[in-house]
Amino acid sequence: MTEPIVSLTNPEFTENPVCAYARLREQAPLVRIGFPGGPRVWLITRNEEVKAALSDPRLVVDYSNVPGHQGPSVADQMVAALDLPDEFVPYVAANMMLKDGKDHARQRRLVTPAFTVRRMKALRTRIEEISAEFLDALALKGSGDLIEEYSSPLTGTVICELIGIDKADQPQVRQWMNEYTAPDADIAASGHSMIEHVKDLIVRRRAEPAQDMVTALVQARDTDGDRLSEEEIVSVVLTVINNGHHSTSHFIPNAVLALFDNPDQLALLRAQPEALPHAIGELMRIANPVPTAGPRYATEDMEFAGVQISKGDALTGSYLSANYDPRVFADPERCDVERVLPRGQGHLSYGAGPHYCPGAALAQLEAEIALDHLLLKRDTLEVTVGRDQLRYTEATPGGARLLNALPVRL
């Protein structure tokens, strides 16, 4: 076969992705996809199969763990397409998300204390204060962009404080954060500045510990006394910024739109605000801006979901397709904030298996507070443009689909 069966650059995947992925899901649990001039991979379309792949030890995220591997991996090709300077290489190599087995477990064991449930609970009051500050400023103006003036500075500030960025430096650091996803930004320049800032912060926290994530990472050691290297700490911080800031800052406006599209569900939450924490799961299912998992590679010839996979083949799971799978979610295109699922079933927006998002509790907390402040404690928020006027940026085919702006009036 010389051509991929499906190209995610087809307009249907941007114009109506839910229907486009539904077509693939009913076609087969695995579908061969490809990109112009790029590799072909297997797209996993169904919920149970995506979940199984994320936990299957025969599938690895580090291509070098495939016996006899040759050439660059899909992830390598994606990084190469960014044309980043050589100084970024050590931090990409240290990325916990690109490691398997003992290497991944070691880093995760040292990182998770920064995201304990107790630590997240302690953040609630502070996140509520930050949310109120930005929302009050937007309300004083009367109108503005919900992303630029509320959700992005909210999640950016929370991440800055969690990391340990000094207050005076936070506006500049938030600007660097946002440049990661800006279409015309100099990613290399902002990335270099961010790396140097974090390296300086590591030096200062070694000398003067504080109650922040960088201090926790600097002080972390496992039972053998092993510590994280500087490259690993910088890589963790960059991963938290990229995954913890952007995904939640764009989930919030997506969730607002979902509730406005389903006024009966918004009315239910306003009548029963105590139901909001449970409702976040349903909103994460339908409003997650990250549609696919990172690639996995088969370490051996194998059968998966009834399909013969060759050693070295790349597979990626579609979160979007899995989250709308009618095999798990009855009437999946309906937003049901009271939806109850059997134990072990649910949305996959945080992933599954060994690489399950360590920051899931933080994302859940931020989303709960934001929607409470925007829609439950107030009832005046209005979107001032029609849905046909909203524009999205998709960094890569099948990649994160980010709303450019959401004009609102309070």
**Residue 402 β-bridge partners:** 393
In angstroms, rounded to a whole number, what is the distance separating the alpha carbons of residues 40 and 96?
A: 25
Q: Which domains does the chain have, with CATH numbers?
A: 6-409 (1.10.630.10)
In angstroms, rounded to a whole number, what is the distance separating the alpha carbons of residues 105 and 102?
A: 5
Band of residue 110 on the pLDDT scale cut at 50, 70, 90: confident
> Can you give the pLDDT at residue 36?
57
CB–CB of 373/381 below 8 Å? Answer: no
Per-residue pLDDT averaged across 371-392, rounded? 95
Closest CA to 293 of 349, 238, 358, 332: 349
Band of residue 121 on the pLDDT scale cut at 50, 70, 90: confident
In angstroms, rounded to a whole number, what is the distance separating the alpha carbons of residues 202 and 195?
A: 11
- Encode pLDDT of 257-269 as tens digits: 999 999 999 999 9
User: What pTM, to 2 d.p., does this model score?
Assistant: 0.92
Closest CA to 366 of 264, 243, 195, 210: 243
Considering only the C-alpha atoms of the chain, give the largest distance between any 2 of them, rounded to a whole number of Å.
62
| For the ranges 7-11, 103-107, 228-232, 378-382, the one whose mean pLDDT is highest | 378-382
The residues, any chain, with a CB within 8 Å of residue 28's CB and separated by 6 or more, are 45, 307
In the three-class reduction of DSSP (H, G, I as helix; E, B as strand; rest coil), residue 33 is classed as: strand
In angstroms, rounded to a whole number, what is the distance separating the alpha carbons of residues 274 and 221?
A: 39
Band of residue 3 on the pLDDT scale cut at 50, 70, 90: very low
CB–CB of 153/174 below 8 Å? Answer: yes
